[in-house]
């Protein structure tokens, strides 16, 4: 899926009496500047207009070979999470988190397969300041790869463990950002179902990001319920435990269980009846936002991330992993080979998994530029309107001209003698540099190289 740009440099053939097509000043900006300065380009030249038809970016060919493993950040039942650096293609040198999942473990359970597909689809479709961003998704024969933004601030759980308990204003800030993230998911018909400190990460500025969407459920709008038993027991709503059917209200129960301090808000989140729970009605997140606990929050400023977080991670570099558990970061980062052969029907479950974020494609377009260049008269010996073969260009490879006879090259100049010693003081001009004795100066000039 390499991003290949097709530059159509072919000009139309025509008689010498035909006029040139009219071009706007924007089309011929370099030539217009030359002519305004009273200069004319020498020899044959080409004028190329860059449009969607002449520049056609394709998706980037992405795979494990494009990333260098730096550290292990975490480990789960289905795979690992690595800190990686992009070493090929666009965004060269950028740091990401790479989540690796083993297909063989996932396909054993239909629900796990459905959850994995849901996670990838949700990460593609949901864009929000407080939800982790997906840059790429791809697969090999035995593994699935999700390339996510690297959240170097670590888990909120780590900071909560260090502090023991958050002060009310600190807790209010984090709960407010989580509320906006949950509200956005619910507006898209998605329930999160696994809200816990380990799944709430901080970016380098200290803002929260929800991660791990493996237990999400899609298409749960007003009035719809689902019955899957899933989540983490300590944060699981009663209706999930008794399997009576649940909806988006389960996320507000989990948020109440998350609050590490007693308050009237906690009691309203922890109502056993989902319809009586704050946020459990049609108002959803808007009802939570109106609670007096959040009276000092300017929601517009919060969403725009104009409010300063209570804690800003102290990081030495983009690769700093000091905010992660050293039990993992000390491990040697190895993406072990997986030669597991899946059946054709099993592989069908992962069709369409590959993804490249629109922001990455935009950066490919913005990073490409083409400058018209003057051609030497010897480039073409026929009419200046002789068509030129189109070239294929990839930002990750050099120009590759179409097959054809080699272009004539200028012969190399004969070697010169080293500079002579400095002249005596009485000399008024430097001695000329002479060619080696016994050799004749080439008279071929600009002709073809000798056969």
> What crossing angle do the helices spanning 168-187 and 249-258 adopt, rounded to 10°?
160
Cα separations (Å) of 357 from 67, 82, 83, 147, 415? 16, 19, 19, 10, 53
Cα separations (Å) of 9 from 34, 167, 406? 21, 65, 18
State the Cα–Cα distance between residues 180 and 270, nearest whole angstrom. 19
Cα separations (Å) of 349 from 79, 104, 152, 407, 413? 18, 12, 32, 50, 63
Q: What is the SS3 assignment for 309?
A: coil
Q: Where are the alpha helices (DSSP H) in 204-319?
A: 238-241, 249-258, 264-269, 285-289, 299-303
294's CB contacts (< 8 A; 6+ apart) are 172, 175, 176, 179, 288
194 is catalytic: yes
374's CB contacts (< 8 A; 6+ apart) are 41, 42, 43, 45
Question: Exactly one of 8, 194, 320, 325 is catalytic; which is it?
Answer: 194
State the Cα–Cα distance between residues 305 and 131, nearest whole angstrom. 13
- The answer to whether 440 is annotated as binding is no
Asked if residue 41 lies in contact with residue 31, where contact means CB atoms within 8 angstroms, the answer is: yes
- For residue 221, give both structure tokens: 């709008």
- For residue 282, give both structure tokens: 């049609």
State the Cα–Cα distance between residues 104 and 338, nearest whole angstrom. 9
Q: What is the SS3 assignment for 417?
A: coil
Task: Give the largest Cα separation in the chain, rounded.
Answer: 109
Radius of gyration of the chain (CA): 32
User: Is residue 352 packed enough to be buried (19+ CB in 10 Å), middle (13-18) or exposed (0-12)?
Assistant: exposed
444's CB contacts (< 8 A; 6+ apart) are 411, 450
Nearest in space to 129 (alpha carbons), one of 309, 249, 286, 278 = 309
Helix (H) or strand (E) holding 69: strand 67-75
Asked if residue 234 lies in contact with residue 245, where contact means CB atoms within 8 angstroms, the answer is: no
Catalytic residues: 194
Binding residues: 99
Binding residues for ATP: 99
């Amino acid at each position: 899926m390499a991003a290949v740009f097709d530059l159509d440099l072919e000009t139309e053939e025509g008689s010498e009496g035909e006029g040139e097509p009219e071009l706007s000043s924007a089309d011929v900006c370099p030539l217009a500047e030359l002519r305004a300065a009273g200069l004319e380009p020498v020899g044959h030249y080409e004028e190329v207009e860059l449009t969607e038809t002449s520049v056609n970016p394709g998706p980037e060919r992405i795979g494990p070979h494009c990333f260098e493993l730096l550290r292990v950040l975490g480990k789960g039942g289905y795979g690992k999470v690595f800190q990686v650096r992009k070493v090929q293609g666009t965004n060269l040198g950028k740091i990401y988190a790479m989540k690796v999942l083993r297909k063989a473990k996932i396909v054993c359970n239909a629900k796990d397969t459905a959850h994995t597909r849901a996670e990838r689809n949700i990460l593609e479709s949901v864009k929000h300041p407080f939800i982790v961003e997906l840059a790429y998704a791809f697969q090999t024969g035995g593994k699935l790869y999700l390339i996510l933004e690297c959240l170097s601030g670590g888990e909120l759980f780590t900071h909560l463990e260090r502090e023991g308990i958050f002060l009310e204003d600190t807790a209010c800030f984090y709960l407010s950002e989580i509320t906006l993230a949950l509200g956005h998911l619910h507006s898209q018909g998605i329930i999160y179902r696994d809200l816990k400190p380990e799944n709430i990460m901080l970016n380098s500025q200290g803002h929260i990001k929800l991660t791990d969407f493996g237990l999400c459920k899609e298409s749960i709008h007003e009035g719809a319920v689902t019955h899957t038993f899933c989540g983490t027991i300590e944060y699981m709503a009663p209706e999930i435990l008794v399997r009576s059917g649940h909806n988006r209200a389960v996320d507000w129960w989990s948020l109440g269980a998350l609050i590490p301090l007693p308050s009237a808000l906690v009691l309203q989140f922890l109502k056993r009846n989902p319809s009586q729970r704050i946020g459990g009605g049609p108002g959803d997140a808007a009802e939570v936002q109106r609670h007096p606990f959040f009276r000092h929050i300017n929601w517009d400023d919060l969403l725009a991330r104009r409010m300063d977080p209570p804690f800003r991670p102290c990081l030495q570099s983009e690769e700093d992993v000091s905010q992660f558990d050293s039990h993992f970061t000390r491990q040697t980062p190895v993406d072990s080979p997986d030669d597991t052969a899946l059946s054709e029907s099993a592989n069908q479950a992962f069709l369409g998994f590959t993804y490249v974020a629109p922001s990455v494609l935009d950066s490919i377009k913005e990073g490409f530029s083409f400058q018209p260049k003057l051609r030497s008269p010897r480039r073409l010996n026929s009419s200046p309107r002789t068509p030129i073969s189109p070239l294929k260009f990839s930002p990750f490879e050099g120009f590759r001209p179409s097959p054809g006879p080699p272009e004539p090259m200028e012969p190399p100049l004969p070697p010169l003698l080293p500079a002579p010693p400095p002249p005596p003081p009485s000399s008024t001009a430097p001695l000329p540099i002479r060619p080696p004795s016994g050799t004749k100066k080439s008279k071929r000039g600009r002709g073809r190289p000798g056969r």
